[in-house]
Every structure is written in structure tokens, then in C-alpha cells.
């Protein structure tokens, strides 16, 4: 029989060496559930890697991948195009607002960040201006490659090597819980204004619509609209990282839609292919792309990957867009997310310092990292997989979650909270 826990040579990223052995082995996933090697089924409270928005084993997505595998696996993006990539780029242009019409296809969220940085910085050179400073949240997470990691000020992303251009980090002016107040919105926008007013002119401001790995922090309503105006006033490009929030996660197709803005660049990954295959996209406005005719060396983009816009991944992404529309997953994310948030807010426990969320990303901030670990473990025993980082438990189930699944998650967390509290008495 297969061992229930891992003992292999596999080196898991972001995990202490001492915790590698004994990792749970997941062997199967169907719909909104996953099964471990001991035969236990769980509600998948983390959508695979926060990306299985359409659920697992969706027949339409498997069929789309199979059909494309039989037709054409992939072909050199430097010498040709193919139908799945062209269709995906034009469908993204249709669902994104304004002049966001030009898409580069990549493999991972970090690559989309890399491409966004290169394009944003090169844009200023193309138009003969010297701007290279980028402003981000200190609590941001934009990926794990050298450059993407530098954009974050989170302690676990701190790098030994210097960034190739200046980065200014904006710290939150209040605790995550207080970030929902109007005063915090004013304080936050004042901090971005200060960064834009002082120092060398900023090339770009890059933000997530909701700070995911930074603690699942919901930003104040209207913040992005005010940030858009600030960027316009200072001539800086606004880059929205929709890697986690995009494709319905927050109850809108894109997180920035909550504030009705149009960014200059948008990065996407995770939900774009429902996690079935690696895929990412960076979409920029037509005026930004057009400046690349003046790019001095290549008169175009000096960036790309062998498997960027892989035909099978792009074919799946096109079907993901159909599934999202036909199964009304954005609406379901808003409805089930609101029910989950409301249910969690009713649980009273000193273990829980805050409960927050937007659409189907909901977080429980506990009173300590130890409590989060104990609560996540008890929640898994009660049948729901979650994820916790630095004291915050994140719940981001597939957008196909049913009302019965939501009730089951609430029941499991309620049981887990009671269990952990009882064990401490
Ligand atoms: C907001 C955000 N940006 C970028 C990334 C990096 O994506 P990837 O892990 O695919 O490189 C992530 C990954 O979690 C993310 O949440």
C-alpha cells in the first residue's frame, strides 16, 4: 500500500526542512473535494493552490485539454501563433476594460510580474524619460522570482541580493482589522501620495486588490479609485496584480472592478486556467504596447518563455471562461462568500481576533500563529482543508462551492474552534 505521508526526495518549497517528512499526500480530487492517501475526503478549502476555481476533474476542462493535446500540443511562439492563444488574448481584451487589449502569455504569476516590471520600466525609456522607481505595499506578494520577490517587504521574502531598481514600500497605517474604516482609507492614500510626491518620479505603482499572502487584508472601498487618480496626477503607471483575485475570486471577475477602475497593466494566473495547467497572462493597454516600436534593441518585447501561452493551457483557459459564464461562478463566489463570511463572523471565540473576506476568499486572524496551526489542524480533522500563514487562516474554496458545502465548512470550523478551546482549558 502507498504510504499516507511523503518520504520521498521531493524538496517542497516554502516549507522548513524539518517539516518535509510526514507531509500529507493527496491522491485524488473531484468537484470541491480532495482525498488523502488514507482515504479521507476533505472539502477543498484552498482550491488546490488557490487556483482550482472551477473545481477538480471538471469534464469540460479535461475534454478541452484532451482535444487540444490531440490537435496541437504547442508551437514556437517566436515563429508562429496558434488558435488557442489568439482566442484567449482576444477574449481577455473583451472582458478587460478600456484599452487593455494587448496580452503576453506566460507560465506563472511570478513571470507575469517579471514581464510587468520589464514593460513598465522599458515604457519610460521608449518615450525618452528616465523613471525606474516602483512603489508597492510592504505587505504585498507579487511572486517568487528574484525581481518579484524584491517587490514585497514581507519578512519571508527578504532576499540576500539587491534589487536592480529602486523599490519603495508602503506600510499599512493600521492593523488589518482597522483597514476597513474610512479613516484608514485616508491614511493609506496619504502614504501613497507621500511616496509619489517625494523621491525620483515613480515609473509604476503595483498593488493587489486584496493583500493575499500579506494576511488576506481587505483594502478600504474606494482605495483603488483614489490610487488611480493619484497615479494619473503623477504620471505613474498603475499595475494591478490579479494573479489571486482575478477570474471571480472576490465576487467580481477582477478585483479592481469593485472600484470601477482601469489599470494600465494587469497580471493574471491561478484561476485563468483553473489550475489545470500552468498559465499566466499580462495584459497592457495599446498605447503602452505601441511605444515598443521605439524599443532600441528589438523594437519589441525582449522577454518570453518556451512554454508561454502553451496551446493546451490556453485551450483550457478558453473553456474556463465559458464555464465561469455558464455556471455563473462569479455570482456564486459573491453569494457563497457572503454566506461564509457571515457564518464565520457569528462564531464567538477569543481565538479569533478578526474575520474578513471578499467573495470566496475569507480569512480568520487568530490570536497567535500557534492558534492558527491548531485550528487549521482541527479543521482538517473535521473535514476541511485550509491554509495558514503567520496566524491567519485562509479559506478560498472553488467558486463551484454549494450552499451545502458552505454549511459544512462552517460546521467544521465551529467544531474545530470548540475543540481547540476545550484542549486549552
Ligand atoms: C497576488 C500574487 N501574485 C503573484 C503570485 C506568484 O504566482 P506564482 O506562484 O504562479 O509564481 C502569487 C502566488 O501566490 C500571488 O498570490
Q: The domain spanning residue 176 has which CATH number?
A: 3.40.640.10
pLDDT band at 155 (very low <50, low <70, confident <90, very high): confident
Q: Which neighbouring-strand residues pair with 206? A: 136, 239
Instruction: Enumerate the H helices of 13-108 as residue ranges.
Output: 47-50, 59-71, 83-95
pLDDT at 197: 97
Q: Is 416 helix (H, G, I), strand (E, B) or coil?
A: helix
Looking at the structure, do residues 267 and 145 belong to the same domain, yes or no? yes
SS3 107: coil
Position in ligand 1 atom list of the atom nearest CA 50: 14
Q: Please give the distance, rounded to the nearest whole angstrom, from the Cα atom of residue 112 to the centre of ligand 1.
A: 9
In a shared domain, residues 41 and 67 = no
Does residue 93 form part of some domain? yes
Q: What is the CATH number of the domain that holds 340?
A: 3.90.1150.10
Q: Within a domain: residue 113?
A: yes
Contacts of 106 (CB under 8 A, 6+ apart): 112, 115, 269, 279, 280, 281, 282, 305, 308, 309
pLDDT at 56: 98
pTM > 0.85: yes or no: yes
Is there a domain that residue 9 lies in? no
At 100-124, the pLDDT tens digits run 999 999 999 999 999 999 999 999 9
Q: Ligand 1: distance of its center to the CA of 280 in Å?
A: 10
> Degrees (nearest 5) of the Cα angle 195, 197, 198?
70
294 in a structural domain? yes
Decide: 110 in ligand 1 pocket, CB within 6 A: yes
Cβ 243 under 6 angstroms from ligand 1: yes
| Nearest-CA residue for atom 13 of ligand 1 | 143
Cell of 12: 517542497
Q: What's the mean per-residue pLDDT of the chain?
A: 95
Please, what's the b/e burial string for 207-221 (b: 16 or more CB within 10 A of its CB; e: otherwise)?
bbbbbbbbbbbbbbe
Of 300, 326, 352, the one marking the end of a domain is 326
**Out of 5-14, 71-80, 318-327, which region has the weakest mean confidence (pLDDT)?**
5-14
Q: What is the pLDDT of residue 8?
A: 78
241 pLDDT higher than 80: yes
Question: What is the whole-number distance in angstroms between the Cα of residue 144 and the centre of ligand 1?
Answer: 7
337 and 254 in a common domain? no
Do 343 and 374 lie in a common domain?
Answer: yes
Percent of the chain with pLDDT over 90: 90
* Residue 75 falls inside a structural domain: yes
Count of domains forming the chain: 2
Indicate if 112 and 221 belong to the same structural domain: yes
Residue 275 CB–ligand 1 contact under 6 Å: no
* Residue 6 lies inside a defined structural domain of this protein: no
Do residue 361 and residue 268 come from a single domain? Answer: no
Residues 30 and 156 in one domain: no
Tell me how far apart the alpha carbons of residues 283 and 266 are, in angstroms, rounded to a whole number: 5
State in Å: Cα 291 to ligand 1 middle. Answer: 28
Residue 92 lies in a domain: yes
Q: Does the pLDDT value for residue 301 go beyond 80?
A: yes
**In this predicted model, what pLDDT tens digit does every residue of 32-77 receive, in sequence order?**
999 999 999 999 999 999 999 999 999 999 999 999 999 999 999 9
Q: What is the mean pLDDT of residues 344-350?
A: 96
Is a pLDDT exceeding 80 seen at residue 177?
yes
Taking CA atoms only, the protein residue closest to ligand 1 atom 16 is 244
Q: Whole-angstrom Cα distance, residue 387 to residue 24?
A: 13
Q: Are residues 320 and 334 in the same domain?
A: no
Residue 263: per-residue pLDDT:
98
Which of 292, 326, 360 corresponds to the end of one domain? Answer: 326
Residues 6+ apart with CB under 8 A from 350: 367, 421
What average pLDDT does the segment 201-212 reach?
98
107 lines ligand 1 (CB under 6 A): no
Which residue's CA is the nearest one to ligand 1's atom 7?
Answer: 109
137 lines ligand 1 (CB under 6 A): no
How far does the centroid of ligand 1 lie from the alpha carbon of residue 141, in Å? 7
Substitution candidate for ligand 1 out of 255, 270, 276, 280 with most atoms within 8 A of CB: 270
Indicate which atom in ligand 1 lies nearest the CA of residue 111.
11
Same domain, yes or no, for 288 and 178?
yes
* Residue 6 pLDDT: 57
As a whole number, mean pLDDT of residues 259-278 equals 98
The per-residue pLDDT for range 243-262, each reduced to its tens digit, is 999 999 999 999 999 999 99
- Together in a domain, 44 and 95: no
- Counting ligand 1 atoms within 8 A of each CB, the residue from 143, 212, 265 with the most, and so the one to mutate, is 143
Number of C-alpha atoms within 13 angstroms, CB side, residue 189? 17
Residue 195 and residue 252 share a domain: yes
Among the listed residues 106, 228, 205, the one whose alpha carbon sits nearest the alpha carbon of residue 151: 205
Cβ of 380: how many Cβ atoms within 10 Å? 18
Confidence of residue 9 (pLDDT cuts 50, 70, 90): confident
Ligand 1 neighbour 255 (Cβ under 6 A): no
Q: Of 309, 326, 343, which one is at a domain's C-terminal end?
A: 326
pLDDT at residue 1, rounded to an integer: 45
Q: Provide the pairing of β-strand 237-241 with 202-207.
A: parallel
Question: Are 273 and 405 contained in the same domain?
Answer: no
pLDDT value of position 64: 98
pLDDT, average across residues 229-256 = 98
Domain that holds residue 413: 17-54+328-423
Q: Which residue has the higher pLDDT, 371 or 15?
A: 371
Atom of ligand 1 nearest to the CA of 143: 6
Ligand 1 within 6 A of 389 CB? no
What CA–CA distance (Å, rounded) separates 88 from 83?
8
Nearest CA to ligand 1 atom 8: 109
5 in a domain, yes or no?
A: no
Amino acid at each position: 500500500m502507498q504510504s499516507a505521508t511523503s518520504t520521498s526526495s521531493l524538496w517542497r518549497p516554502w516549507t522548513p526542512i524539518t517539516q518535509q517528512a510526514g507531509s500529507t499526500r493527496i491522491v485524488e480530487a473531484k468537484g470541491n473535494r480532495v482525498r488523502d492517501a488514507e482515504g479521507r475526503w476533505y472539502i477543498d478549502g484552498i482550491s488546490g493552490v488557490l487556483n482550482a476555481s472551477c473545481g477538480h476533474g471538471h469534464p469540460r476542462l479535461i475534454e478541452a485539454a484532451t482535444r487540444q493535446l490531440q490537435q496541437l500540443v504547442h508551437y514556437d511562439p517566436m515563429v508562429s501563433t496558434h488558435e488557442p492563444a489568439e482566442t484567449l488574448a482576444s477574449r481577455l481584451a473583451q472582458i478587460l476594460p478600456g484599452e487593455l487589449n494587448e496580452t503576453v502569455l506566460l507560465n506563472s504569476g511570478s513571470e507575469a510580474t517579471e514581464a510587468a516590471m520589464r514593460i513598465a520600466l522599458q515604457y519610460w525609456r521608449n518615450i525618452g524619460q528616465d523613471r525606474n522607481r516602483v512603489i508597492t505595499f510592504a505587505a504585498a506578494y507579487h511572486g517568487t522570482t528574484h525581481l518579484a520577490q524584491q517587490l514585497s517587504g514581507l519578512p519571508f521574502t527578504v532576499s540576500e541580493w539587491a534589487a536592480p531598481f529602486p523599490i519603495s514600500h508602503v506600510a499599512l497605517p493600521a492593523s488589518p482589522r482597522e483597514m476597513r474604516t474610512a479613516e484608514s482609507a485616508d491614511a493609506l492614500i496619504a502614504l501613497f501620495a507621500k511616496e509619489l510626491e517625494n523621491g525620483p518620479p515613480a515609473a509604476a505603482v503595483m498593488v493587489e486588490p486584496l493583500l493575499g499572502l500579506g494576511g488576506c487584508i481587505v483594502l478600504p472601498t474606494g482605495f483603488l479609485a483614489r490610487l488611480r487618480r493619484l497615479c494619473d496626477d503623477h504620471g505613474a503607471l498603475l499595475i494591478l496584480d490579479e494573479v489571486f483575485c482575478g477570474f471571480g475570486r472576490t465576487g467580481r471577475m477582477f478585483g479592481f472592478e469593485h472600484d470601477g477602475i482601469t489599470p494600465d497593466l494587469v497580471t493574471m494566473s491561478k484561476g485563468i486556467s483553473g489550475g489545470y495547467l500552468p498559465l499566466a497572462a499580462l495584459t497592457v493597454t495599446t498605447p503602452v504596447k505601441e511605444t515598443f516600436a521605439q524599443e532600441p534593441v528589438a523594437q519589441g518585447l525582449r522577454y518570453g518563455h518556451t512554454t508561454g501561452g502553451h496551446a493546451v493551457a490556453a485551450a483550457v483557459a478558453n473553456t474556463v471562461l465559458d464555464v465561469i459564464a455558464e455556471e455563473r461562478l462569479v455570482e456564486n463566489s459573491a453569494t457563497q462568500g457572503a454566506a461564509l463570511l457571515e457564518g464565520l463572523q457569528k462564531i464567538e471565540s477569543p481565538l479569533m481576533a478578526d474575520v474578513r473576506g471578499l467573495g470566496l476568499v475569507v480569512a480568520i486572524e487568530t490570536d497567535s500563529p500557534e492558534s492558527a496551526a491548531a485550528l487549521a489542524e482541527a479543521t482538517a480533522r473535521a473535514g476541511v482543508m485550509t491554509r495558514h500563514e503567520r496566524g491567519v487562516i485562509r479559506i478560498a474554496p472553488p467558486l463551484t462551492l454549494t450552499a451545502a458545502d458552505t454549511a459544512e465548512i462552517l460546521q467544521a470550523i465551529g467544531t474545530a474552534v470548540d475543540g481547540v478551546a476545550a484542549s486549552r482549558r
